[in-house]
Amino acid sequence: MSRAGVSYFGVRILRHVRRDLEDIAARGFTSVLHTFSENDLVYYRGTMGDIVSASHDVGLEVQMCPWGVGRTFGGEAESRWVTMHPEACQVLDDGRRVATGCFNQPAYRAFCKEWADAAVECGTDYVFWDEPHWTVPEHVGIDDKERWACRCDVCRELAGGEVTQEFREASLVDFLREMTAHVAARGGKNTICVLPLTEGSHGIKDWDGVAALPGLDVFATDPYWKNFDEEPGAFVGRFAKLLSETAVRHGVRPQLWVPSFGLTGEDIPDLEAAIVATRAAGIDDVWTWGYEACGHMTHLATPDAPLVWEAVTRALTRRPELELRPTRDLVRSINVGDATVPDAVARAADQIAAAVDAIVARLEGGGRLVYVGAGTSGRIAASDAAECGPTFSTDLITAVHTEAEAEEDDAELAQLDVGERDVVLGVSASGRTPYTLGALGRARAVGALTIGLACAPGSELARAADLAIEADVGLEFISGSTRMKAGTAQKLVLNTISTVTMVKLGKTFGNLMVDVTPTNEKLRSRARTAVALATAAPDDAVSAAMAEADGNAKVAIVSLLAGVDADTARSRLSAARGVIREAVADVVG
């Protein structure tokens, strides 16, 4: 089975995690690695179980790694254990004790087993022993690369006096043997990811010794060429070949990791070459660190993280064309794309608020709001305008549009009867529709306030309008199909504009629809319910007030709250420009 995986870390709010996991699955990844730090172990243990379960829910296989645990595994997370157990930490060759757990210390081994128990209990499919290594001096604030560890009492006793590189490597392998056996005994599976080193004070020379460990299921490495200032194709190819051959000899699955963090657009060819070299070595279980090219982590991100993420996704997942993908896969992909639309609208919140304030000022001065659009945009605008009439009993919002696609190109077609008190809001996904641009130009010429709503940044429509709203939704699932994300964004923005405008104009009381036109039984019932909720009056009083008000909910509410008859209530509303709260201000705080 071909596998494509990605690491995920830094988020512990489940609703956000679920959305990201859906994105990972929709992109074609089969697997995810969750970091499980000491902080997670103490404070998020149950949450991590929920995250693993959520991963399984979307069909992802899960690995969990001891993120920074004891400072002996990969990861930036800090270790509280070393603070509490200095006596079980490593000792440098010059006698200095450093904040890193010692692989030979029984207390540290016991703690790593405790961590592994928690990972298995969380439901992970694999415990991922990530880059197990003796302390790196610079990681503990020592600027001397010649220093090494460990010369603690336990290590020296086990070594019979002199601690050698061979002893250090044998100790590390023995530690891993104990950990993998512990996990296997609890029904779990193990992955060991060794550093791409076979020499020096931190590498493991004998990869066969690791791959042969009982209880090991997956043997991995992570040749991050930039970390070693190496050429990607040759460097990755060398370790991919070593990994593949070693794994085959011992009947375990090879897995290779490539970086997507810290890369720029110029590095994308190197990234692709590394993946090609990996597959050429017969490895089809390829992962990347990490989600969205770690664009959320300033230390690891680059301005090109989005480009890198798209590139590594394509290279790893090798998604088939749309028509060849399963129906469930297509549904999920569209849903994940749709989930990004509210964020795009949220980024335009200030622009939307400014537009609403300007619209309210014009409508209070006797003006109207006129939507203009063609094609999908026009139909969406017309729909919102049509809904405002029965919802808010208003004719202040109308739409001028064309449904004929060929008419979009006619800049002179849209005829507007507007003046300087009015607002004309042009809607165009691309921001360059001639029909809409022409209408806005004529509206502006007669003094109307113009607003441009587009789903592309820096559009011609935005430049042509007095106020711009730009909801950049990115690429569509089907190229050019703006009825999808762009259409959804336009509907959300127009919903917001019309609704908030009506709220500001007094068409609601609290969150109640009090200006609804009661033209059928459903709407009459809704109006009566609004009166009951707004006034907390008894049913008979509500019925009487509604009857006297001829079914007008606002009149009935003012009548009940102010204790006046319907005619007086109407007078109060007229004086208050239809705003209930102002009409009853003298009796209701």
The closest alpha carbon to 263, from 237, 236, 288, 235, belongs to: 288
Whole-number Cα distances in Å, 473 to 341, 344, 373, 429: 6, 6, 19, 10
Cα(235)–Cα(216) distance, rounded to whole angstroms? 25
Q: What are phi and psi of 457, to 5 degrees?
A: -70, 145
Q: 38, 131, 169, 408: which is the annotated catalytic residue?
A: 408
DSSP-assigned beta bridge partners for residue 454: 428, 470
Please calculate the CA angle 391-526-504 and round it to the nearest 5 degrees.
40
Question: What is this structure's pTM?
Answer: 0.78
Give one DSSP letter per residue of 141-200, joined into a string.
Answer: T---TT--B--SHHHHHHHTS---HHHHHHHHHHHHHHHHHHHHHTT-EEEEEE-S-SSS
Number of helices (H), then strands (E), in the chain: 23, 17
Peptide bond into 290 cis (omega under 30): yes
408: annotated active-site residue: yes
Task: Report how far residue 451's alpha carbon sits from residue 372's, in angstroms, rounded to the nearest whole number.
Answer: 10
Given the residues 178, 387, 548, 582, select the one marked as catalytic: 387
Pairing outcome for strands 423-428 and 397-402: unpaired
Rounded distance, CA 148 to CA 486, Å?
58
pLDDT at 193: 97
For residues 469 and 493, the answer to whether their CB atoms sit within 8 Å is yes
Q: How far is CA 10 from the centre of its chain?
A: 12
Contact yes or no for 72/132 (Cβ under 8 A): yes
Question: Which tokens belong to 198?
Answer: 């076979």
Q: Is 230 among the catalytic positions?
A: no
Burial group, residue 511, by CB count within 10 angstroms (0-12, 13-18, 19+): exposed
DSSP 8-state assignment for residue 577: T
Q: Please tell me the distance from the alpha carbon of residue 69 to that of residue 81, in angstroms, as a whole number.
A: 8
Reading the chain (589 residues) residue by residue, the pLDDT tens digits are: 789 999 999 999 999 999 999 999 999 999 999 999 999 999 999 999 999 999 999 999 999 999 999 999 999 999 999 999 999 999 999 999 999 999 999 999 999 999 999 999 999 999 999 999 999 887 777 888 788 999 999 999 999 978 999 999 999 999 999 999 999 999 999 999 999 987 766 778 999 999 999 999 999 999 999 988 999 989 999 999 999 999 999 999 999 999 999 999 999 999 999 999 999 999 999 999 999 999 999 999 999 999 999 999 999 998 767 676 788 877 887 887 888 889 999 999 999 999 999 999 999 999 999 999 999 999 999 999 999 988 888 888 999 998 777 788 888 888 899 999 999 999 999 999 999 999 999 999 999 999 999 999 999 999 999 999 999 988 787 777 788 898 999 999 999 999 999 999 988 888 888 888 778 888 888 889 998 998 899 999 989 999 998 989 889 989 988 899 999 989 998 898 888 888 888 876 5
Q: Could you tell me which of 204, 187, 288 has the C-alpha nearest to residue 243?
A: 204
The tokens describing 168, both together, are 């250090």
Q: How far apart are CA 201 and CA 133, in angstroms?
A: 9
- Helix, strand or coil, per DSSP, at residue 277: helix
DSSP β-bridge partners for residue 256 = 221, 286
Do residues 559 and 570 lie in contact, with contact meaning Cβ atoms separated by under 8 Å? no
H or E segment at 231?
A: none
Place of tokens 């729909």: 383
Please give the pLDDT value at position 325: 72
Max Cα distance, the chain (Å): 103
Q: Is 564 exposed, middle or buried (0-12, 13-18, 19+ CB in 10 A)?
A: middle
Contacts of 38 (CB under 8 A, 6+ apart): 68, 69, 77, 78, 79, 80, 81, 115
Q: Which amino acid is at 502?
A: M
Name all domains of the chain by residue range, CATH numbers in brackets: 3-77+108-135+165-331 (3.20.20.80), 342-504 (3.40.50.10490), 508-583 (1.10.8.1080)
Burial class from Cβ neighbours inside 10 Å (0-12, 13-18, 19+) for residue 180 reads: buried
For the chain, state the CA radius of gyration. 33
φ and ψ at 498, to 5 degrees? -65, -40
- Contacts of residue 500, defined as CB under 8 A and 6 or more positions apart, other chains included, come to 356
Region class of 292: left (phi > 0), else alpha (psi between -120 and 50), else beta? left
187 phi-psi bin (left φ>0, alpha ψ -120 to 50, beta other): left
Which residue bears the tokens 């081994």? 109
Q: Give the C-alpha separation, 409 to 435, whole Å.
A: 6
Calpha distance 73→143 (Å, rounded): 20
